[in-house]
Amino acid sequence: MPTTKCGFDDAPGVPGRTALSLQGPTLIVQIGFDPTYDPQAVPPLPPNLPRTPLPALVDTGASESCIDSGLAMRLNLPIVDQRPISGIHGAGLVNVHLAHILIPLWRSQFMGHFAEWT
């Protein structure tokens, strides 16, 4: 399994440990949805996603992968389900989006369901 640093380097005026405590452990990803993606293609090609790098919070204790509702709307991710989830804000019914995620550092890609959270 690939591993990577999920912290922050020291920057002028902001120690890496401070940034980590404010933002949490993150990875840089590309996210979107490519309806034409073919995982069986030869040679294998990655999904066509926006090139904008985004920080993704790594929460190893979560039982559900989530995405910010505003980001899901901006990326026009398809809604494929609704389900009840609960978290720090309490319980509620949320949309579930389908998305492709590329982790350039790992040269890996994933497709999955992401619960919308505001």
**Where in the sequence is the domain holding 71, given as residue range(s)?**
26-117
CATH of the domain at 41: 2.40.70
The answer as to whether 54 is a domain residue is: yes
Lowest-pLDDT range of 36-40, 52-56, 105-109: 105-109
The whole-angstrom distance between residue 7's C-alpha and the CA centroid of its chain comes to 16
The answer as to whether 5 is a domain residue is: no
- Per the confidence metrics, is the pTM higher than 0.85? no
The answer as to whether 7 is a domain residue is: no
Question: What is the C-alpha to C-alpha distance for residues 14 and 21, in angstroms, rounded to an integer?
Answer: 11
The answer as to whether 31 is a domain residue is: yes
Q: Which tens digit of pLDDT belongs to each residue from 89-102?
A: 788 899 999 999 99
> Across residues 33-55, what is the average pLDDT?
91
Please count the structural domains in the chain. Answer: 1
Question: What is the C-alpha to C-alpha distance for residues 70 and 118, in angstroms, rounded to an integer?
Answer: 8
